[in-house]
């Protein structure tokens, strides 16, 4: 959602309500933002564009105020590396007089990689900000030729997060 650009056919007060609602939304004060956007919805001199803008924010606020939040991301791709094994070259080993074993020599290769993350948060709705969180992150990289450096990773975390200190 973008900042409101304003409109010459509405009063400055309604434009101010839109701006304040946007500001409070960005600060995470969704209840305050909702009040400003509801005022814009009922204002007689609000343009249809302002009312549409306010409705978009009101819809987003409803989602943000749900006690259960689920989000995620995924990425995949291919890449090529000139030194996939991260092996040293003969020049990078000072004092080495023998050739490097070919198992440890730099080897170029390409690979496929993928990463996936899922996040769940349950807000207990208290003033301390206590929540229960569960996160899963999975990563996998499969080389096309040098399979000895294939990589996989899975991280699973779950538990409460407590707001311990409150700064006034």
Per-residue pLDDT, 119: 97
The pLDDT score that the predictor gives to residue 118 is: 98
Identify the pLDDT of residue 3.
47
What's the 3-state SS for the chain? CCCCCCCCCCCHHHHHHHHHHHHHHHHCCHHHHHHHHHHHHHCCCCCHHHHHHHHHHHHHHHHHCCCEEEEEEEEEEEEEECCCCCCCCHHHCCCCCCCCCCCCCCCCEEEEEEEEEEEEEEECCCCCCCEEEEEEEEEEEEECCCHHHCEEEEEEEEEEECCCCCCC
Q: The pTM is what?
A: 0.60
- The pLDDT of residue 93 is 57
Give, for all 168 residues of the chain, the pLDDT tens digit. 544 455 445 578 898 999 999 999 999 899 999 999 999 999 989 999 999 999 999 999 998 888 999 999 999 999 998 888 776 665 555 666 666 666 667 788 999 999 999 999 999 888 778 899 999 999 999 999 988 889 999 999 999 998 877 665
What is the structure's pLDDT at 158? 97
């Amino acid at each position: 959602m973008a900042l409101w650009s304003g409109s010459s056919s509405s009063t400055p007060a309604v434009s101010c309500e839109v701006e304040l609602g946007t500001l409070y939304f960005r600060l995470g004060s969704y209840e305050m933002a909702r009040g400003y956007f509801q005022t814009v919805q009922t204002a007689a001199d609000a343009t249809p564009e302002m009312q549409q803008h306010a409705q978009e924010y009101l819809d987003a606020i409803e989602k943000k105020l749900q006690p259960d939040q689920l989000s995620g991301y995924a990425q995949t791709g291919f890449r090529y590396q000139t030194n996939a094994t991260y092996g040293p070259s003969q020049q990078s080993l000072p004092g080495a007089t023998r050739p490097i074993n070919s198992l440890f020599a730099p080897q170029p290769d390409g690979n496929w990689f993928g990463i996936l993350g899922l996040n769940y948060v349950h807000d207990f709705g208290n003033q301390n900000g206590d929540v229960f969180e569960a996160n899963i992150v999975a990563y996998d990289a499969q080389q096309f030729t040098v399979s000895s450096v294939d990589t996989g990773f899975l991280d699973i975390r779950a538990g409460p997060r407590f707001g311990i200190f409150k700064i006034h």
